[in-house]
Structure 1
C-alpha cells in the first residue's frame, strides 16, 4: 500500500489497523501520557540528533539511527506515520532522517493529534512498546544533507538556493541565538517556517500550490537545489516537508544550521534590515 508523503487524519484512520503501519508520536512525554493516537509509539525526538559537541544538533550516527529505528520496530516493509506537538518541525525532521537513510515509506500527519481529534477519532492514554526490529541503516553519502563545505562551495558558484526558516529578526541579525554573530548565509532568502501553515490550531499545511507561490515570492529559485535550515534544523524539518509537498524535487537540509554557521570564525555573513 502506497501512502502519500503528507497524509490527513481520515486517510490515516483507513489504514491505521494495517500491521505494517507504525504511528510514531514525537510529542513530549506529558502530552503522550495525556492522549495519543491509538497504538502510537512515543519516541524521544532528540534521539535523531548526534548529541555531541561541537554541533549536537547534527544528524545522529548510523549506529544511533539504527538503534532508534529498531527500537520503534521499523523494518523495510513498514510504513511510518509521524506527528508531533510543535506544529510539525520534529515530525518533518524525522521524515528527513528516514529519507537520508533511504527509507521512503514514511508520511507526515497533517494537523497532528489536533486534526485527528477534530475528526472525532478516538485517543488513548495507554503507552505502547513495540517489538524491536533489527534494522540497520546508513546515511553516508546521502545527497539530502548539505554540510558547511557544500554550502560554501555552491553559494560561491550560485547553483543552490538557501531557505532560511528562522524568525525575521534572526535572519536580519538583530537577534542572535547561541551564536557568536548574527545575520544569514550569503544569498539566503527568508521564509519563516510557520508561513507554510494555513493555520496553527490544528497546524495544517497550506495547499501545495500556495506553498509553491510563497517559495517563489520569497525569491527562492526552484530550478536549483533548495537547502533549508534554521538555528538547529528543527524548524527547517517542517520546511523540508513543505518544499516536497509543493512539488520541489531537490530539497536538502543543513543540519548544522546557524548554530554551526554563526559560530565559525571564517563563515561569511550577510545582514539586512
Structure 2
C-alpha cells in the first residue's frame, strides 16, 4: 500500500494541472462570472489530503473515479458525469461481521461493484453524497479496509454544492467498466470485538474509545435495536459525530474547529491508538476519517459497534456502563 507522502504528491500533481487549466479558462468551474456557491471551496479541502471541494473536482474531473453514495433515486435523477452508484445498505454494511467464530470479511460483492465502476486498487477515487455526512466517510473507510492503494477522497459539500455551482450533471446510466478489483485487506483500520475487549476492563479503557452516538444513546436512555443491554463501552468518551459537520454549510467544520474538538477538548494524541464506534460503525466512520486526516498513526472503527457489544455479556469480559451522567461527554459544538 502506498504511503501518505506518495498519495499527497499525486494529488499535488493533479492540483497543479487543474490550476493551470483554471487559469487558462479564467473562471471557476463552469459557473462563468457568477459568484460560486458557499462551500465551492472549503477550508478542509485546502488542509487535508483526503478532502477535495467542487472547484478542485471541476479542474481534475478526468483524473479521478467517482462513487455516488446517495440513494438510487437521487442518483438516477442527476449525478456527476462519470460517477457510479455505490449502494449503502446492500454492500457497505454487509462486507464484514462479527460471528461466534470471530470477525469475518466478505469483500467479493464490493470488489465486483468497484470492478463494474472501472476502478482498480491503484486508482484515485472521490466519494460524494448529497453534502458531507456519514455514508461518504463509511465508504472511504471501507475502501481503506479493502486495502485500496490509490487516494480515496471526500467531496466536501457533496453533490448539492456541485449542482448549485452550475457544474455539469447527467441522469444517464454510466457504462459498466472493464476492470478487475483485487482487494488486499487492511484490518489495521478495523477494531474487532476482541480488540476492544482486550483494551477494556470493569472500570476503564486502556486506549481512547470514542462513542460517536448521541448522549442519550451513550447513557442508555435512547434504546435502539433488539439488544440485551444499553449504555456504552466502559471507559468510552461520548463525542456525537454531528459535531464534526457544519450543517449550515453542508461540509466538514474548519480544520481549526476540528482540532479544537478532537485534539484539545477530546484530548487525543496522534501517536496513540484510538477506537471509534457507534451503533453500526457508520457514524463512527466520521471520527475515523477526521482522525485519519489529522495523521493519527492507529485509528480504528469498531465494525460491530453497539449492535454487537449490546448482545454480549460482562461475564465474558465485555464490560459496559449505563445510566445518565455516567462517563464523559464532549459537547464543544453540541
TM over 0.5: yes
* Aligned mates of 1:111, 1:150 — CA distance in 2: 34
1:149 aligns with 2:182: no
Deviation at 1:112, TM superposition (A): 0.8
Compared CA separation, residues 75 and 208, structure 1 to 2 (3 A): same
Instruction: From 43, 55, 64, give the equivalent of 1:10.
Output: 55
Summarize the alignment of residues 65-214 of structure 1 with structure 2, pairs less than 5 Å apart.
65-85=110-130, 87-104=132-149, 105-139=151-185, 142-156=187-201, 158-178=205-225, 179-198=227-246, 200-214=247-261
1:268 aligns with 2:319: yes
Cα deviation digits, residues 208-235 of structure 1 (max 9, x gap): 2321210235435324211111100111
Compared CA separation, residues 219 and 148, structure 1 to 2 (3 A): same
* Aligned mates of 1:158, 1:106 — CA distance in 2: 31
**Match of residue 92 from structure 2:** 48
Q: Is the 8 A contact 1:162 1:187 kept in 2?
A: yes
* Aligned mates of 1:89, 1:73 — CA distance in 2: 24
**Match of residue 268 from structure 2:** 221
Q: Is the 8 A contact 1:209 1:246 kept in 2?
A: no
How many aligned residue pairs are there?
A: 267
Counterpart secondary structure, 2:275 = strand
Of 151-160 and 90-99, deviating more is: 151-160
1:22 aligns with 2:73: no
RMSD in angstroms over aligned alpha carbons? Answer: 2.3
* Aligned mates of 1:102, 1:54 — CA distance in 2: 20
Q: Is the 8 A contact 1:212 1:243 kept in 2?
A: no
Cα deviation digits, residues 61-91 of structure 1 (max 9, x gap): 1323322322222113311100123742111
Q: Is the 8 A contact 2:131 2:251 kept in 1?
A: no
Q: Is the 8 A contact 2:132 2:155 kept in 1?
A: no
Q: Is the 8 A contact 1:240 1:251 kept in 2?
A: yes
Q: Is the 8 A contact 2:228 2:310 kept in 1?
A: yes
Q: Is the 8 A contact 1:181 1:262 kept in 2?
A: yes
Counterpart secondary structure, 1:221 = coil
Give unmatched runs, 5+ long, in structure 1: none
Larger RCO (CA under 8 A, 6+ residues apart):
1
Q: Is the 8 A contact 2:199 2:207 kept in 1?
A: yes
Runs ≥4 residues deviating over 6 A: 51-55
Compared CA separation, residues 181 and 197, structure 1 to 2 (3 A): same
* Aligned mates of 1:103, 1:253 — CA distance in 2: 17
Instruction: From 278, 296, 321, give the equivalent of 1:230.
Output: 278
Question: TM-score by structure 2 length?
Answer: 0.73
Q: Is the 8 A contact 1:66 1:136 kept in 2?
A: yes
Compared CA separation, residues 143 and 51, structure 1 to 2 (3 A): closer
Compared CA separation, residues 180 and 42, structure 1 to 2 (3 A): same
